[in-house]
Structure 1
Amino acid sequence: MISPQEAANGLEKEIEISHKETCGECSGLQKGLNTSICETCGGQGRKQAIKKIKFSLPGNLSMPGVIKPMTRLRIAGEGDAGIIGGENGDLYIYLIIDNSR
């Protein structure tokens, strides 16, 4: 949630998210040494991790119609790791203006 003041003036924010990243042991290939199942990710090719993301918003977002309920912000390449070592997906952050702040 962001305050009406943050929406009007812009903001820079850092958040922590839980996401899936490529397994460092098998590089997302799902197999360990000697083609056995990777012990680190259990053959998934990805593992759960915590990641910090920084994003910024320009000011004047509180103008009528700019931020509607559940407006989403797309951050390319910051989502979950792709399957079998593929590219990361996009991260979507949903913006809510908290008028009680």
Structure 2
Amino acid sequence: MAMDALAKVRDDKYPQISKSWRAHRENLNTLFSYPPDIRKAIYTTNAIESLNCVIRAAIKKRKVFPTDDSVRKVIYLAIKDASKKWSMPIQNWRLAMSRFIIEFGDRLSDHL
């Protein structure tokens, strides 16, 4: 199995990778079952990483929050400000969208 081969090579230095991959095998199988166009759109957009970075930066500026509601407001405003700057188009989006329509056309028709 490819995962075992990877573990043999990398486990000495990075044991957590194969542990994590084994624990989340079902999710990985789902990802790898998609055609390459869709997989590339999923793993290259880094939307979650970008969002987490914005949230971390907003929270790091303020050490103490008086209430839980104040945290929510800071996060909301940080995301609102950051979303104005997110203008970079996703590479090969048309190609990926064509694949999404082929694979999930019935679910996308209401959103197009």
TM-score of the superposed pair, with normalisation by structure 2: 0.22
TM-score of the superposed pair, with normalisation by structure 1: 0.24
Question: RCO greater where, 1 or 2, for CA within 8 Å and sep 6 or more?
Answer: 1
Structure with greater proportional strand content: 1
Decide which structure has the larger Cα Rg and report it. Answer: 2
Structure with greater proportional helix content: 2
